[in-house]
Every structure is written in C-alpha cells, then in structure tokens.
Structure 1
Amino acid sequence: MLLDVPGIRLGHRSLGDTGVTAIVSADPAGMRAAVDVRGGGPGTRETDLLAPHNTVERVHAILLTGGSAFGLAAADGAMRELESRGLGFPVFGEGRPGPRVPIVPAAVIFDLVVGSPDHRPDPTDGAAAVGAALDGPLGAGSGSVGAGCGATAGVLRGGFGSASCRVGDHVVAAGVVANPVGSVIDPASGRFYGDPSRPAVDTAAFSSLERPTPALNTTIGVIATDAPLSVAHLQRIAIAGHDGIGRAVRPAHSPLDGDTLFAVSTAPDGVEMWGAGDVEKHAALCEAAAEVVASAIVDAVAAAEPGFGITAWTEIAY
C-alpha cells in the first residue's frame, strides 16, 4: 500500500459523489517531487514548479481531488492548513523569521456527471484531507473514498487504490485515483487487463453496461519511494509509471483523459542521492513503478462500491 513507504501520510475527505485525497510528507522539510502529464485534458496546479531545472525541489503535500477544474480550489485549503502548522518553504531561509509557503501541487479528475454537478470540493475539504493525513490513524482504505468517491472506470465504478512492492532495500508504492475513459476490463475474457488472476466478470452483463456521459475522465496518482532520488530521477519514475496506466487501461492517455502522475522521494536530506553509477537500480525502480500503478488501478476498481446508478465490479464478478 502507499503507506508502506516511510515518511508518507495519507488522508481522505469523502463527500459521497466527490472528494479529496491528500498525500502529505511526514518530514517538515517536505519530499522531493516530479511529475509527468500524458493525458490530453489535464487539470493541474503547480506542476511547472516540479521541472528538474526549477528551484524548489521539495513539496509538502500533493492533492488529488474531484470536481474537475473547480476542485483545484481545495489546494488553497490544504496550503492554509499546512501553514497553520508552521509547514512550508521558508521565504527568507531556514531558521529565519518570516512567512512560509507550503508547496502543494494538485491534480483533478472529472466527476461532475456522478451525483450533483454543483457539488465540488472546496478549500475546507482540502484542509480536512490534510488534517486527516497528519492527525488521523494510518491505514486509509481503497475504493469509494476521497478523490475516488465519484470516479468511474469506463462503464464501472472507479475509485482510489494503492499497491506497493520492494526493490532491493527500498519500497515503491502508488496511490491512484482510477477514473479513465478507457476500460479496465478485457471484454473478451472479462478479466482485468492489469491483473488477469482476479475473478472474471460476466461478459454479457459487462457488455450491456452504458457509460455515463459525457466521456471526460482522468487517472491521477502519486508514486512514492524511500530511495534517495533526484528530481530528474523522479521524473523518469513518473514517466515509467504511465506504463502502468497503459497496462491496466485500454485505451490510455486519450484526448479526453488528463492522466497525471507525480513521483516523490521521502529520503531525508543528508542521504547521498543516486548517481550515474546507480542506473540499474533506477531501472528496477522504474519497472516497479509501472507494476504498482497497474496494481493500484485494479485495487481501486475492485474495492469500489455500487452507487449513483453505476455498476461496481463486485456486482458482476464471479
């Protein structure tokens, strides 16, 4: 699970037909971060900041939210909550008095056709998700929670899912809001593209399902590791993670998706970062990133609950 990575805190604000998920650094200094956007219709905030050639390398939280572009307002509340706790980038330098600016990149899914189109996460919800991450118990669940509340995966209910694996001495994990235009189920076999070992669905029942309209969706998520990676290395992890979307969703990265993956490292300052001599270890992390993203998408859909007139995988699997 995403929480298997040391230094990660996870909190949800579930609002029925939409919601917010906050991935927060347990280290007040933040976590190194990068991003890769592949979908044709992204809704994001503070992603330019994460380019390897830019100044700020660390973020204090990443927000995944419903509500389409309206939901980006939730990041305002996340920033205020972090600021109230003395967390953020020290404008005048570490150890000197002055304001702190929390760095909170965000990405949204389109979920306005589920439930009420006027019900969108706001700053209060962003603050609540961060508060849940920092104050709540570990072990937040999968399925119809947080930003996954209003998610759809093709003709099925989507949701929030996570997965992890070990690569040598390190952990790689993903937390993903699965909300793709494409299908996660092979219509011929009835099995998950991302995990054919799972039970199949009734193919006749699956083929009769209708997609909610309009067909505007997005898969967004965070890949996390405790490996000491630079921002440039993390960007390669995010790029490779999109292979996981391609494995689990057909088609992926369409003009109607806003597929966005962040990658973060929780390794603290003072740990020597990997360099050119660690390319084989980096390659193994990239492969693992694709695997955990695909598994997280399957976890999200398999755990989703029925609702809002949209069928859940559990209703037609056998």
Structure 2
Amino acid sequence: TVTALVAANAFGDVIGQGPANLPWPNMVPSDLVGSSFGQNTTLGVIVTDAALTKSECLVLAQGAHDGYARAITPPHCRVDGDAVVAAATGTVPAASAEDPRRLGQVELLRWMAVRATADALATLAEVAPAGPIPWIDPPV
C-alpha cells in the first residue's frame, strides 16, 4: 500500500486550476523573482506499509517528484521549494535484499508513489478554491 499527503502552493498550476499564474510568453526574469520568490512550495509525504530501507524510501520520494511533474505545470520551478519525504512502516515484508524480485517490488512501489502523488494533487485541484485563500491571503 502506498499513500500520499500533499500540500501545494506551487508557482505553476495544479491540474484543474485553469490558466497559468503569470502570462508565460511575456514573462521576464524580474516578473518571476518579484512575484513569487520565496513564497511557493509543494510539500509531500509518501507512506508505505512495505518493509523498505532508507535508500528505498528515497526511491519512493523521487517517484513522488515525478508525480509533481505529472500534476503541476510548469513543475519544479526554481522559485518553488518542493520537497517530499517517504516513510515505510515495515508491516508488509518484502523480498530479501539478495532476491532479484526485490528490485521489481521497489519499482512497483515507486510507480505507486508517482500515481498516488499525482492523484493527490489532482484531488486537491478539484476541491481547493481557485485564487487567494481568504483565511491565509490578506485582502488586496
């Protein structure tokens, strides 16, 4: 089992959020820095019940970044502070480190992390209000 929890305030648009935040064809570097520098991030947590090593959890976190790239346009902007952590509870045993099936199991879990992250962001796009969030953003 793999699940994702994501909080997004991406510079780019999450799928379903409509047009881009800035007029991309006419944007100049000063627009980019002046409008959002230090204000955007997407944070995620991936959790699996599989028994994984710390290095294998890193593979899941990397997969979650692929989920960001599937669901945010444009993804991984330099003004974003994107991060993902992964945890494994270890309740479901995996093949031993010497067993060649272990690689396939970890790859399947990585793919599940990609899908879970992209799905979590798509769900967020469906339920979150567009534009400023009243209880966070000050009125203009």
Q: Which protein shows a greater Rg?
A: 1
Q: In the superposition, relative to structure 1, how do residues 309 and 280 fare at CA in structure 2: closer, same or farther (>3 Å)?
A: same
Structure 1 residue 309: Cα displacement: 9.7
Shift of 1:299: 1.2
The aligned residue for residue 214 of structure 1 is 35
- Verify: 1:283 aligned to 2:107, yes or no: yes
Q: TM-score, normalised by structure 1?
A: 0.34
CA contact (8 A) 1:225 1:266 kept: yes
Is the Cα contact below 8 Å between 2:12 and 2:20 reproduced in 1?
no
4+ residue runs of structure 1 moved beyond 2 angstroms? Answer: 206-211, 271-274, 305-310
Q: Shift in Å at residue 231 of structure 1?
A: 0.5
Is 1:261–2:84 an aligned residue pair?
yes
Equivalent residues, number: 119
Structure ranking higher in helix proportion: 2
Is the CA contact (8 Å cut-off) linking 2:57 and 2:86 kept in structure 1?
yes
Query: Cα deviation per residue 1:2-49 (whole Å; 9 max; x = unaligned)?
Result: xxxxxxxxxxxxxxxxxxxxxxxxxxxxxxxxxxxxxxxxxxxxxxxx
Unaligned runs of 5+ in 2: 24-33
Contact 2:13–2:19 (CA under 8 A) maintained in structure 1: no
Superposed CA deviations along residues 211-258 of structure 1, whole A, max 9, x for unmatched, are 9x8323111010000011010111111111100000001111111011
Partners of 1:223 and 1:239 lie apart in 2 by 10
Q: Distance in 2 between matches of 1:208 and 1:272?
A: 42
> Identity percentage over the alignment?
31
For residues 32-73 of structure 1, the C-alpha deviation after alignment (integer angstroms, 9 at most, x for no partner) is xxxxxxxxxxxxxxxxxxxxxxxxxxxxxxxxxxxxxxxxxx
Q: What are the residue-to-residue correspondences of 1:190-209 with 2, within 5 Å?
A: 192=16, 206-207=18-19
Letter in 1 for 2:125: V
Partner of 1:240 in structure 2?
63
Q: Distance in 1 between matches of 2:10 and 2:70?
A: 13
TM-superposed CA distance for 1:184, in Å, is 1.9
TM-fit CA distance, 1:210: 6.9
- After superposition, the Cα gap between the structure-2 partners of 1:231 and 1:302, relative to the gap in structure 1 and judged at 3 Å, is same
1:308 aligned onto 2:131: no
Separation in 2, partners of 1:224, 1:287: 13
User: Could you tell me which amino acid in structure 1 is paired with residue 81 of structure 2?
Assistant: G
Instruction: Report if aligned partners of 2:11, 2:21 keep a CA contact under 8 Å in 1.
Output: no
Checking the alignment, whether the CA contact within 8 Å between 2:66 and 2:114 is kept in structure 1 is: yes
Residue of structure 1 in register with 2:11 after alignment: 181
